Amino acid sequence: GTRSGEDIEELHDMRVATRRMRAALDIFSSYYSPKAIKPIWKGLRRTGRNLGGVRDMDVLLEHLKGYIQTLPEAARDGMEPLVSEWQTQRELRRTTMNEFLDSKAYQRFKIQMNHFVQTPAMDRPSLVSDYPTPRLVKEAAPLLIYTRLTSVRAYETILDHASLDQLHTLRIEFKKLRYAVEFFREVLGPQAKDVINTLKKVQDHLGELNDARVTCQLLTEFVARWEIQQIQQPIGKRKTIEPVVAYLAARHADRHRLMVCFPETWETFVHSNFRQALALAVAEL
């Protein structure tokens, strides 16, 4: 399904699976030697990069086509140059992705990954010590979860003046925290469900903000290229892309709205109800 591109959700699922595996390596890296996880990390990162390029275009095109459906018939033709360019970009990235999936490097990675996940204690660092170290889930999970919680909470000091780049990085930190809770969900208390839902809500908000931000950047670049192309045409034959400019304005408005209302979403995370739910979930261990 990922190769054919008939259902964009299949590629999305594969990309999410790749991200989860990278998150798992990040969380549990101290329990493996760097030598063991380095090739796995490298393979997952390269796979994710190839999948991500196509997925990003799928998301852009899906939103664009939804927007076009809201336009009057007379304005839809003006969006065709943008649709055509993005579809071309998608196909180019899909070709690159399929070439990677057919490559010897990817085949080697699959063999390495299979060996890694089926070999118990592969290159595990020595746990022999004069002092006890966290090894059991009930010992390690609280530390792993709360370490990621502190990484997110650290952004509170800059939130009032955070840049879009910083908010994008915050989204990544939220994702790491959410995955950490999800990895241990089976042994946590029932409050873990509400914790995960809250984290997902905040992560989705930041994801929509980043999508709007990226779209604005791409549209601005498209309009600039279009202007250069039209200057080369006779004055009487120059074409307008007013609908594309209107789409840029709409996405800019989306970006602004999501940015200014984020503090309200953030409050659901810093509220005492969330902290209590997380503490109770972890206390089940």
The encoded tokens of residue 224 equal: 């600039």
Q: In this predicted structure, what is the pLDDT of residue 126?
A: 57
- Give the C-alpha distances (Å, rounded to integers) separating 239 from 87, 230, 231: 21, 7, 10
**Cβ-Cβ contacts under 8 Å for 32 (sequence gap 6 or more):** 25, 122, 123, 124, 125
Per-residue buried b or exposed e for 150-183, using 16+ beta carbons within 10 Å of the residue's own CB: eebeebeeeeeebebeebbebbebbbbbbbbbbb
pLDDT at 120 over 90: no
Closest CA to 245 of 261, 273, 274, 223: 223
Q: In this predicted structure, what is the pLDDT of residue 124?
A: 63
| pLDDT tens-place string over residues 186-245 | 999 999 999 999 999 999 999 999 999 999 999 999 999 999 999 999 998 888 899 999
163 by DSSP, 3-state: which?
coil
CA distance 186 to 200: 18
Per-residue buried b or exposed e for 234-264, using 16+ beta carbons within 10 Å of the residue's own CB: eeeeeeebebbbebbebbbebbeebbeebee
| pLDDT tens-place string over residues 171-183 | 999 999 999 999 9
Q: In this predicted structure, what is the pLDDT of residue 273?
A: 97
The encoded tokens of residue 202 equal: 């905040």
Higher-scoring residue by pLDDT: 2, 251: 251
pLDDT at 123 over 60: no
pLDDT at 115 over 60: yes
Q: In this predicted structure, what is the pLDDT of residue 272?
A: 96
CA distance 25 to 20: 9
- Give the C-alpha distances (Å, rounded to integers) separating 10 from 14, 62, 139: 6, 15, 36
Global pTM value: 0.90
CA distance 139 to 268: 28
| pLDDT tens-place string over residues 64-109 | 999 999 999 988 999 999 999 999 999 999 999 999 999 999 999 9
The encoded tokens of residue 174 equal: 């939220």
| pLDDT tens-place string over residues 9-49 | 899 999 999 999 999 998 888 888 888 889 999 999 999 99
All domains of the chain, ordered by start, with CATH?
1-121 (1.40.20.10), 137-285 (1.40.20.10)
CA distance 88 to 100: 19
pLDDT at 128 over 60: no
% the chain with pLDDT above 90: 81
